[in-house]
Amino acid sequence: MDRIKIHDKYFKPLITNSQIEGVIDSVADELNADFGSSGDIPMLLCVLNGAIMFTAELMKRLTFPLELVSMKLSSYAGTQSTGKVLEVMGLTGDVEGRSVIICEDIVDTGGTIMALKEMLLAKGAREVKICTMLLKPEVYAKPLKIDYVGMRIPNDFIVGFGLDYDELGRNLKDIYVLDK
């Protein structure tokens, strides 16, 4: 894996695709253990665009019946969180009375998942679980418990496997970190 350039910045390899797949295997095992015999049909909520690859890979490994819904949020401008969470595309299904598993690419400040969980409960979801591929524990400062965490990473800006730098880099199969 080589150093790459996206827009004006350089990025270096951080997590290989096979490491990511291992992380997703573990998260899937946990979800299968928790939902496999619950008899409930949860809704998997893909938070577009960042979580698209994670959700697809995770879903392939889930062995219980589930429904898939999506919505699109936006909070980042360039490499910085703006702190404001914008709903760019509303929920594609009805969550009333349902158990919802939020699938996120990464939890940074936690603003996005906090806003999302409140919104889902306000729309009548019975239960909301949070599942994230990555977490930046140095930045996350919210009281909310994150139910499923794939991997913890340092507080550096990353791209790849769905994550972007101003919309580029989502298609990279490995994850890269900003080379300062």
Binding site for ligand IMP (CB under 6 A): 50, 75-76, 81, 104-112, 157-158, 163
Give CA 45 to chain center in angstroms. 10
Q: Are 158 and 180 in contact (CB under 8 A)?
A: no
Residue 57 contact among ligand IMP, Mg ion, none, beta carbon within 5 to 8 Å by kind? none
Residue 26 contact among Mg ion, ligand IMP, none, beta carbon within 5 to 8 Å by kind? none
> Given 29, 108, 147, 166, which residue is catalytic?
108
CB of 172 to Mg ion, least distance (A): 15
Site of tokens 């496999």: 36
Please indicate whether residue 164 is annotated as part of the active site: no
Rg (CA), the chain: 16
Q: Are 32 and 63 in contact (CB under 8 A)?
A: yes
Q: Is 50 in the site for Mg ion (CB under 5 A)?
A: yes
The stretches of the chain forming alpha helices (DSSP H) are 17-35, 52-61, 111-122
Residue 15 contact among ligand IMP, Mg ion, none, beta carbon within 5 to 8 Å by kind? none
Active site residues: 108
